[in-house]
Structure 1
Amino acid sequence: MSPSAAVAAQNKQDAPLNLDELVTKISLLNTSKDPRSTVKGGFADSWVEALPETTRGRYEKYGIDLSKGYPQRPPTENIPIFVDEAFAIREKEQPFVERGKNADPEKKALFGAAKEVKNLTKHIGTEIVGLQLNDLNDKQRDELALLIAERVVVFFRDQDLDPKVQAELGAYYGNVEYHPQQVHVPGLPGATVIWQDLFRHLGLKIGFKNTVKAGTSQWHTDLTHELQPPGITHLHNDAIPDVGGDTVWASGYAAYDKLSPALQQFLDGKKAVYFSAHSYVDRENPLKGRKHVEREHPIIRTHPATGWKSLFVNRAMTSRIVGLEPEESKVILEYLYSIFEKNLDIQVRFNWKPTKPGLGTSALWDNRVSQHFAVWDHEGKEPRHGVRVSSLAEVPYFDPNSKSQREALGLSLD
């Protein structure tokens, strides 16, 4: 979630306008003045001097130019003001290749190059030891895609990772998400900066009494409002607290298997409305209040590599179930959220700390079949800085002939 989105997520979608907001919206009625003239792209308000030592070392080693400032903002002219502009950024379907679909099921090339493969729980979370992401060939990348699809999230500690390789790997796995508002690594517009110190400076209100619903410290799935939401998402943390700063993931496969057969049957084929974290001005009615980009997707989606069904809702970005009365939708969605949030047996919690000082840690997860939650228990006392690359995947779909994970693996539901 971007800094501006993280701040916006703390506010209600239809909150009353204050005087400053009202003046801004009235000014938008004057179409002779482009409101983007007040928004600065590029390197305004640089935070280069505040960069953690390990982050700066990574950037200097791999030739990231920090001479103009950090982080880089998108070009001013590309920043959408109106909701129709934001919607139009990706309104047409783009070709997508599922890299895990034809990979070796035994993953011999990937596992054979690793020193150790550790499953952190029975069905979610795997750590690969002794393998550098910089060095993967295409066969290993394909097998890694399948492993991520099966295990939901895969971890690599002690990574000496070139940011340009991270961006290239993201492009291999899908169409890299270039966000028109999010700050990024200089020269790499798809490499989004995830830096809570900066987010707090920009207005994110997060503290000991206000962690839930503050930015990424809430259960969420990234960018579900997109026409083609992300598949593989790669977060590399290059500044990590000595203690704390964990992230938790929950499996959408397992969440579906937790449901009764009757509820599964009811949800199969249903759709929900998913909304963007950022909000925009309605060109037709600018005084009505800010609006979000919204799209409909299946509540139960089928993964193209595994063929397994997954529950695809999240508390932060799901609005309502299509075809139900508001109160019906609210009750059902609340129950579905609780499946992810309350069942520890379908979760994995990961501490990012590397075993070798000065190196970073990567997590690659399948955003189509998961939710995640960043734990803010380090309280900002130590820096936590990372770079995320999101690879947009297929348009979500539901195959009525697909199976659940436990059904496909022949596992008992008792």
Structure 2
Amino acid sequence: MPSTVDVGNIDEPEDVSTLVKKVVKSGKPERTKNLRSSYEGGFSDSYIEKLPAPARRRFEKAGIDLSHGYPERPPSEKIPIFLDEAVAIRNEEFPYTERGKNADPGKKALIGAAKEVRHLTKHIGTEIVGLQLSDLNDKQKDELALLIAERVVVFFRDQDLSPQKQLELGEYWGTVEKHAQQVHVPGFHGITVIWPDLFQKLGLNTSFKNSLGTGTSNWHTDLTHELQPPGITHLHNDTIPEVGGDTIWASGYAAYDKLSPAFQQFLEGKIAVYISAHQYINRESPLSGKQNIEREHPIIRTHPATGWKSLFVNRSMTRRIVGLKKEESDRILEYLFGVFEKNLDIQVRFNWKPTKEGVGTSALWDNRVSQHFAVWDFEGKEPRHGTRVSSLAEVPYFDPNSKSQREALGLSLE
């Protein structure tokens, strides 16, 4: 899920003119009480009295310290207020190893150990039956990375998975994203909490009539504003509604193949601007309103493990196409968003319900080649709770010699 729940937004301080004078004079952020009021860290958002029983049992079994509350936020002094602070958190390229690149194409170690491998649709979505993620060896992890890259999203039900083991898996596949503002499991900054009940308490106000576009009920790709956006993202839901609460994924590979050759050629090499979910104050223009982080990436990108081209845009986080007039950019992007959202044959819808009590379900997807949408049909009447770990990958790139998925698989391009 995305970091779209803006629990860290701030109101303009009452003494803003005084603040601006101090900022201009000193060149440093003035951390006044008013400015920090909405950015209080630690356990200020604790909602432990509503923590679902399955989640509590999972945490207690794993030795997670809940004595101070749940969940935790980064310390107040670490939460960025100014735009340049937020951008500086990860603004330099770091090494990345694509674990799926050298994996066995046949994935014999992974598939051979499974009881069953179920492809949920023709080209997106696979469920692995009879394996525990916590037991995978490195060879199997590499093969799973390749399977995720090929199938976009892979599911594992009936998982007895601790938050620590989930984090360990994420660290194997890349540098784990530690969100500057979002709530996390106490003591584990890299494990983000995805909990609709908490987000409602913090002011999200999702309802039946306005569920579309609120929280995670929108088509999005996680953290596209990063210099190195996530590759594999792993959401483990330990508390799942009896009915509903599904998630839908759409394939960026298939979205690219839906386009005409002329349109594909037009888009290849084009750059778009992607924004953060959270907003910050521009130090140089503090009265101009809060602003998103912006980052430029190619609209068509190549996956380093499969070598396949993917359409890399999403309605929530793609702002504009560089070099085009606004009306041109808006119309093209609206069309591209619709390719993901309207074509049911490039989507998979998954119900998280495990087959056994006391365990959860994991979904692992590749953010480089997908969008997803959390369905709020359970309307908050039953608890839904999970933990997410995102492994940051390479700087997005486009290889003009790469192929599309259908071209690589020898399928019809008509």
TM-score, structure 2 normalization: 0.95
Q: Deviation per CA, 1:174-217, whole angstroms, max 9, x where unpaired?
A: 11000110100011100000000000100102100001110110
- What is the aligned counterpart of 1:34 among 31, 37, 50? 31
Is the contact between residue 8 and residue 181 of structure 2 (CA under 8 Å) also seen in structure 1? no
Q: Does 1:129 align with 2:129?
A: yes
Judge conservation of contact 1:237–1:362 (CA < 8 Å) in 2.
yes
Q: Which residue of 2 aligns with 1:230?
A: 230
Q: Deviations over 1:322-365 (max 9, x none)?
A: 11010000110000000000000000000000000111000000
1-side partners of 2:15 and 2:322: how far apart?
A: 33
Q: CA contact under 8 A between 2:273 and 2:294: conserved in structure 1?
A: yes
Residue aligned with 1:407, SS: helix
Once the two structures are TM-superposed, the CA of residue 37 in structure 1 deviates from its matched residue by 4.5
Query: What are the residue-to-residue correspondences of 1:150-161 with 2, within 5 Å?
Result: 150-161=150-161
Tell me the residue number matched to 1:139. 139
Count of residue correspondences: 404
In structure 2, the partner of 1:11 is none
* Closer, same or farther: CA 272–25 of 1 in aligned 2, 3 Å: farther
Residues in 2 aligned to 1:27 and 1:110: alpha-carbon distance in whole angstroms: 61
* 2:48 pairs with 1:23: no
Identity in percent: 74
What letter is aligned with 2:124?
I
Q: Distance in 2 between matches of 1:332 and 1:33?
A: 42
| Equivalent-residue separation in structure 2 for 1:346 and 1:203 (angstroms) | 34
Q: How many Å apart are 1:21 and its aligned residue?
A: 2.8
Separation in 2, partners of 1:200, 1:389: 22
How far off is 1:2 after superposition? 3.4
2-structure distance, mates of 1:407, 1:183: 42
Q: Does structure 2 retain, via aligned residues, the 8 Å contact 1:218–1:374?
A: yes
Distance 2:117 2:130 in 1: 9
Match of 2:26 in 1: none
The aligned residue for residue 57 of structure 1 is 57
The corresponding residue for 1:274 is 274
Q: Is the 8 A contact 1:248 1:348 kept in 2?
A: yes
Question: How much does 1:24 deviate?
Answer: 6.2
Q: Which consecutive unaligned segments of at least 5 residues does structure 2 have?
A: 24-28
1:334 is matched with: 334
Separation in 2, partners of 1:121, 1:27: 59
Change (3 A) 1:164 1:263: same
Are the equivalent residues in 2 in contact too, given 1:239–1:360 (CA < 8 A)?
Answer: yes
Q: 1:343/1:103 Cα in 2 relative to 1: closer, same or farther (>3 Å)?
A: same
Match of 2:85 in 1: 85
8 Å CA contact 1:2, 1:183 repeated in 2: no
- Cα separation, partners in 2 of 1:270 and 1:245, compared to 1, 3 Å: same
Who is 2:6 aligned against?
5
The alpha carbon displacement at 1:4 in A equals 4.2
Structure 1: tracts of 5 or more residues without a match: 9-16
C-alpha distance 311-147 of structure 1, shift in aligned 2 (>3 A):
same
One-letter code aligned to 1:28: L
2:401 maps to a residue whose letter is N
Tell me by how many angstroms 1:28 deviates: 3.5
1:33 Cα shift? 3.8
Distance 1:24 1:388 in 2: 38
CA distance, structure 2, for counterparts of residue 87 and residue 256 of structure 1: 30
Residue aligned with 2:110, SS: helix
Note closer, same or farther for the CA distance 1:404–1:3 as it changes in structure 2 (3 Å cut): closer
CA–CA separation in structure 2 for the residues paired with 1:105 and 1:59? 36
Q: Are 2:310 and 1:313 aligned?
A: no
d(CA) in 1 for partners of 2:413 and 2:169?
Answer: 37
Instruction: Summarize the Cα distance change of 1:65–1:343 in structure 2 as closer, same or farther, 3 Å threshold.
Output: same
Calculate the aligned-residue CA RMSD, in Å.
1.5
Task: Report the AA paired with residue 34 of structure 1.
Answer: R
Instruction: Report the residue type matching 1:225 in the other structure.
Output: H
Contact 2:82 2:282 in 1 (8 A): yes
Q: CA 1:259 to 1:6, structure 2 compared with 1: closer, same or farther past 3 Å?
A: farther
The answer to whether the 8 Å contact 1:219/1:314 transfers is yes
Equivalent residue number for residue 97 of structure 1:
97
Hey, what's the Cα distance between the residues in 1 that align with 2:270 and 2:15? 39
Matches within 5 A, 1:105-124: 105-124=105-124
* Residue pair 2:4, 2:277 contacting (<8 A) in 1 also: no
Structure 2 Cα separation of the partners of residues 24 and 202 of structure 1? 25
Aligned counterparts of 1:4 and 1:161: Cα–Cα separation in 2? 25
Deviations 1:281-336 (A, max 9, x none): 01011001111100100000000000000000000000100110100001100000
AA of the residue aligned to 2:288? K
Q: How far has the Cα of 1:25 moved from its partner? A: 4.2
Where 1:272 maps in the other structure, the secondary structure is strand
**What secondary structure is seen at the aligned counterpart in 1 of 2:264?**
helix
2:368 alignment counterpart: 368
In structure 1, the residue matched to 2:395 is: 395
Q: Which residue of 1 aligns with 2:203?
A: 203
Give me the whole-angstrom Cα distance separating, in 2, the residues matched to 1:101 and 1:25.
Answer: 52
Q: How far, CA to CA, are the matches of 2:194 and 2:333 in structure 1?
A: 29
1:348 maps onto 2:348 in alignment: yes
* Letter aligned with residue 305 of structure 1: A
Residue equivalent to 1:297 = 297
Cα distance in structure 2, aligned partners of 1:152 and 1:24: 49
Q: CA deviation at 1:23?
A: 2.9
* Cα offset, 1:41, TM superposition: 1.4
Q: Residue 244 of structure 2 aligns with which residue?
A: 244
3-state DSSP class of the match of 2:210?
coil
CA contact (8 A) 2:301 2:399 kept: yes
What displacement does 1:7 show? 8.7
Q: Alpha-carbon deviation of 1:27?
A: 5.2
Counterparts of 1:4 and 1:348, CA distance in 2:
24
| Aligned counterparts, 1:185-224, within 5 A | 185-224=185-224
C-alpha separation between the residues in 2 aligned to 1:267 and 1:3?
Answer: 27
Q: Is the 8 A contact 2:7 2:202 kept in 1?
A: no
Shift of 1:3: 6.4
* Residue of structure 2 equivalent to 1:14: none
